[in-house]
């Protein structure tokens, strides 16, 4: 009822009249993707950098010039990234390892094939990943927390998965870019539940700082979505996808649609308020609700129970400062949920160009009985040593780690390096 009243208040008296106005080409090019999405990441990587520490290497200048030429000529945007991380915990459980290291190679592209003049852009987007653990480490940085004590992963995305097609989808703008749809192999969180510093490849790393740990967020998989502007300052977005997604097997072309075509779905809807719509990542407040169906594993046993809940996400840029807030509650169900309630508050600060430092304080309640709640203080500093290379030290201090009751607190030191061209 409350959501219905909010929508009724936000919808203009004649929404079709607003849609029939001249197309907003800038909004149409942006679409409804969040700051960690494939296209948004490529655009951020292509921006000029002016950091404090500059390694005067112009080796990639011809490559960047060619990229701009191709984009202007045929609407094709593309990029390559390699990010590597080393993580070490101060404590561990039993004889488990304390450290791990891994890398992620990403090749991505976005091709606007038609509709630039009308705002009804037809866009093909794809991303290819190779995620790999170095050497003989027993686990990946993503899962190191379960070996050492933290309930929440401290190095989001840095797992071990074979070379594969991560996403491939069609995005179609409608009504001059004021609405749009997507279909294909998608990652639902590219569209929902965002704040400006939530990309674990570039900013914060801990799960409680970047994604909602109460959500049983699926891997990329078969899905569809739709978004629309409501008036001038609000968006409504809906995503339906496979609740399990890609199983990360050895099949490069795996689309992860087994549950989807059996009628078992991950369903999510978000209402987003943008007080400055021309700067959608600067100030934003969103409410996201989701429900994921139960599904079985290959042996017929329950692999993931029903997951449902609500989250809030916001950041409010004030000059160089970026205060942010996340919170959520759920039934604690689902294979990928590590909490049934959480709250995160923090702030980022932009030093110069793309150099950023930030800190968050997160609290979460584990979904399993008998585990204590934990609190995590996370801080990072991303600085560029050239236009293409960034280094990010990251420290997470976990108080009352839920999975290691032998210690009152523990730390995770991580350092991430990233090349993006």
What contacts 253, CB < 8 A, 6 or more positions away?
164, 165
Alpha carbon distance 381, 194 (integer Å): 20
Residue 20 covered by a domain:
no
Domain enclosing residue 88, as ranges: 26-420
Residue 137 covered by a domain:
yes
In 3D space, the residue among 151, 158, 210 whose CA is nearest the CA of residue 378 turns out to be 210
For the chain, give the mean pLDDT.
91
| Cβ neighbour number for residue 405 with a 10 Å cutoff | 13
Alpha carbon distance 123, 31 (integer Å): 10
353: confidence class by pLDDT, cuts 50, 70, 90: confident
More confident residue, 278 or 88: 88
Structure tokens given for 48: 């000029």
Q: Are 177 and 280 within 8 A, CB to CB?
A: no
CATH code where residue 378 lies = 2.40.160.10
Residue 183 covered by a domain:
yes
Can you spell out the DSSP letters for 157-176? T---EEEEEEEEEEEEEEGG
Structure tokens given for 110: 């976005």
Tally: H helices and E strands in the chain:
7, 18
List residues bridging with 360 in a β-sheet.
346, 378
Residue 60 covered by a domain:
yes
Residue 19 covered by a domain:
no
In 3D space, the residue among 41, 28, 219, 239 whose CA is nearest the CA of residue 123 turns out to be 28
- pLDDT (tens digit per residue) in 148-176: 999 999 999 999 999 999 999 999 999 99
| Cβ neighbour number for residue 288 with a 10 Å cutoff | 24
Alpha carbon distance 285, 191 (integer Å): 14
Alpha carbon distance 411, 399 (integer Å): 9
pLDDT at 352: 79
310: confidence class by pLDDT, cuts 50, 70, 90: very high
Does pTM top 0.75 for this prediction?
A: yes
Residue 293 covered by a domain:
yes
Residue 350 covered by a domain:
yes
Alpha carbon distance 406, 400 (integer Å): 9
Residue 108 covered by a domain:
yes
Q: Are strands 302-304 and 307-316 parallel, antiparallel or unpaired?
A: unpaired
Residues, the chain: 421
Number of domains, the chain: 1
Alpha carbon distance 284, 274 (integer Å): 5
Residues of the chain above pLDDT 70, percent: 92
Backbone angles phi, psi at 290, to 5 degrees: -145, 160
pLDDT at 17: 40
- pLDDT (tens digit per residue) in 226-246: 999 999 999 999 999 999 999
Q: How many CA atoms lie within 13 A of 85 on its CB side?
A: 35
């Amino acid at each position: 009822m409350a959501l219905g009243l909010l929508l009724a208040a936000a919808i203009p008296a004649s929404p079709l009249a607003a849609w029939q106005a001249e197309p907003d080409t800038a909004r149409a090019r942006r679409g409804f993707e969040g700051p960690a999405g494939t296209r948004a990441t490529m655009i951020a990587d292509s921006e000029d950098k002016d950091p404090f520490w500059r390694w005067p290497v112009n080796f990639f200048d011809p490559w960047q010039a060619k990229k701009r030429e191709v984009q202007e000529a045929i609407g094709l945007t593309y990029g390559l990234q390699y990010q590597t991380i080393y993580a070490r915990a101060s404590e561990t459980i039993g004889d488990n390892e304390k450290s791990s290291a891994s890398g992620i190679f990403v090749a991505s592209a976005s091709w606007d094939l038609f509709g630039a003049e009308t705002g009804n852009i037809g866009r093909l987007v794809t991303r290819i990943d190779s995620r790999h653990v170095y050497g003989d480490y027993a686990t990946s940085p993503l899962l190191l927390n379960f070996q050492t004590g933290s309930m929440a992963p401290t190095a989001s995305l840095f797992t071990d998965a074979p070379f594969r097609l991560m996403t491939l989808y069609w995005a179609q703008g409608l009504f001059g870019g004021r609405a749009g749809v997507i279909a294909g192999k998608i990652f639902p969180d590219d569209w929902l539940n965002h704040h400006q510093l939530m990309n674990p490849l570039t900013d914060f790393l801990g799960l409680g700082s970047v994604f909602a740990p109460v959500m049983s967020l699926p891997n990329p998989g078969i899905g569809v979505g739709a978004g629309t502007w409501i008036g001038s300052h609000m968006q409504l977005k809906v995503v339906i996808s496979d609740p399990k997604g890609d199983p990360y097997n050895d099949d490069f072309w795996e689309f992860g649609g087994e549950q989807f075509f059996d009628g078992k779905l991950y369903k999510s809807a978000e209402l987003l308020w943008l007080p400055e719509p021309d700067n959608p990542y600067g100030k934003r407040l969103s409410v996201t609700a989701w429900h994921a169906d139960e599904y079985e594993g290959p042996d017929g046993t329950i692999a993931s129970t029903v997951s449902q809940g609500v989250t809030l996400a916001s950041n409010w840029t004030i000059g160089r400062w970026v205060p942010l807030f996340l919170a959520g509650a759920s039934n604690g169900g689902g294979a990928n949920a590590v909490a049934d309630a959480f709250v995160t508050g923090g702030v980022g600060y932009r030093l110069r160009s793309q150099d950023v430092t930030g800190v968050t304080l997160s609290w979460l309640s584990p979904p399993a009985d008998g585990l204590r709640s934990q609190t995590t203080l996370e801080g990072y500093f991303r600085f560029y040593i050239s236009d293409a290379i960034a280094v990010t030290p990251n420290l997470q201090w976990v108080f009352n780690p839920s999975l290691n009751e032998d210690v009152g607190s523990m730390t995770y030191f991580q350092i991430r390096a990233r090349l993006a061209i």
